[in-house]
Amino acid sequence: MQPVPFDPETDLAPLPFDAELCELARALKQRGLPWRPHVGCFVWDPDQCIKPASPFPLQIYFILSLPRFIEIFGSIDAITEKVIWLPTWHQARLLCQRYGINPAPTPPAASPTEELKTLFRLIGDALSDR
């Protein structure tokens, strides 16, 4: 069976992740956002270390099988080093709670991507202030 890639012209995006959001996630990593790879996380592979094509745009993968990622990278630490965690909206809200951030409600016209970018920026600010 041949895989069917995501088509941005006809398919609804399965994730709110775009290139800017990925770069915001890279900034979170650079500011020291702690993360341990586990099942249920989305990751961005900017260096294209993972050879099988991603079903998502922009080299984004979902950790469904942690042993498979360990097989690819060699260890949990190598995964943490090589890929960039893309917290979901729910995970970003939990991080806001952890860092004492009370984000203002997002205007109804804001896109899910813009809302997540706002959360990433707030988390980045909190990490910078630590």
DSSP notation for 17-71:
--HHHHHHHHHHHHTT------TT-EEE-TT----SPPSSGGGEEE-S-HHHHHH
* pLDDT tops 90 at residue 10: no
pTM: 0.88
Higher local confidence (pLDDT), 111 or 87: 87
Per-residue confidence band for 88, with pLDDT thresholds at 50, 70 and 90: very high
Amino acid identity for residue 69 in this structure = F
Closest C-alpha to 58, from 14, 89, 27: 14
